Amino acid sequence: MTMRFLGILVLSLALFYYADAQTRGTVRLVRNGVFSHTYSSGIVQIYYSANSSSILSWGNICDDASFGDNEASVICNQLAYNGASTYGRACSTSSFGTDNNATILDEVSCSSSSLLTLQQCSVTTTISSACFLNSNDVFVVCYTTRIWNNPYPGQIRLVGGIHTSYGRLEVYCNGLWGTVCDDSFDPTDAKVVCRQLGYSDSILAHSGAVTAGSTSQPIWLDRVFCSSSYSCLATCESCPAMQYHNCIHSKDVAVACEFDSTETASSNILSTCSTASTSGTTNTTPGIVGLILGVVAVVGTILT
């Protein structure tokens, strides 16, 4: 039994725990203490561990002197919205009620509004006394356009879960969003996916974890093989000219991404993977067939 297969098996079993659950670093928006994945505005909560604790819980972010436009936009980017239109303290509006969760992050500082997640920013879990007040909780109002509204070839997204850190993996190729088959998809491939999205680590969610893609959707990628050094899926698997696979939508892969302080944070920004080189092949099963049609050669792979 190969190590690659063992990795797939172990992380596939872990799926049952993570399906539709939050992972470390997941962010969400709440109103009057209630969460909905449809909210594009609300008080910000993050699933994180408080100072000197290994226990993960939902907590708030303090709106202190370091919090500004960049930080608000990165939160909205992580929620898959196209930046923030405004932000502020909970006490400055009656729109979102009061959130009684403890403050869990302070001194959030992001170097750019194009970063993808808060893990790429500077934060502290040592909370100043002024941030103990619920009135200082951060709220954001995100633009309602999604960051994938004008997609580039090779752009990816996670859909179908209740949080943006988890869902069915989809890739944009040939003008259509399609899925990825779980055949040979392993932790290294999942980590590259999460790195492209701005996270440092992944938990592989096997097929069946979320709703499968529509039967009208193409399955663009099968038998993905990535190097651990890659930061974009397109670097290891290029968009095919057409579908070459023997897969079905019940095997659509899903991935859960998380913050892991022991892993190097992703350096990706919104535009990083839009120009990624594509050195991979559509499928990697043995056997190449070339069909000569007049003077046009169509090269594909034989699936076994």
Q: Where are the domains of the chain?
A: 24-142, 165-301
Domains 24-142 and 165-301 share a fold: yes
* pLDDT tens digits, 51-99: 767 899 999 999 999 999 999 999 999 999 999 999 999 999 999 999 9
Q: Which fold has domain 24-142?
A: Mac-2 Binding Protein (3.10.250)
Q: Which residues of the chain have pLDDT under 70?
A: 1-21, 52, 207, 209, 277-304
The single-letter code of the amino acid at 187 is P
Predicted pLDDT at 271: 95
Candidates 172, 176, 202, 200; CA nearest to 187 is 202
Nearest to 282 by CA among 119, 173, 168, 151: 173
What is the full DSSP assignment across the chain? Answer: --HHHHHHHHHHHHHHHHTT---TT-EEEEETTEE-TT-SEEEEEEEEE-TT---EEEEEEB--TT--HHHHHHHHHHTTBS-EEEEEEGGG-SSS----SPEEEEEEE-S-TTB-SGGGSEEES---GGGGSGGGBEEEEE-SSBTTSS--TT-EEEEESSSTTEEEEEEEETTEEEEEB-TT--HHHHHHHHHHTT-SEEEEE-TTSSPPPPTTS-EEE-S----TT-S-HHHHSPPPSS------GGGB-EEEEE--TTSPPP--BTTGGGG----S-S--SS-EEEEEETTEEEEEE---
* pLDDT value of residue 45: 98
pLDDT at 277: 59
pLDDT at site 214: 85
What is the fold, at CATH topology level, of the domain defined by 165-301?
Answer: Mac-2 Binding Protein (3.10.250)
Predicted pLDDT at 172: 97
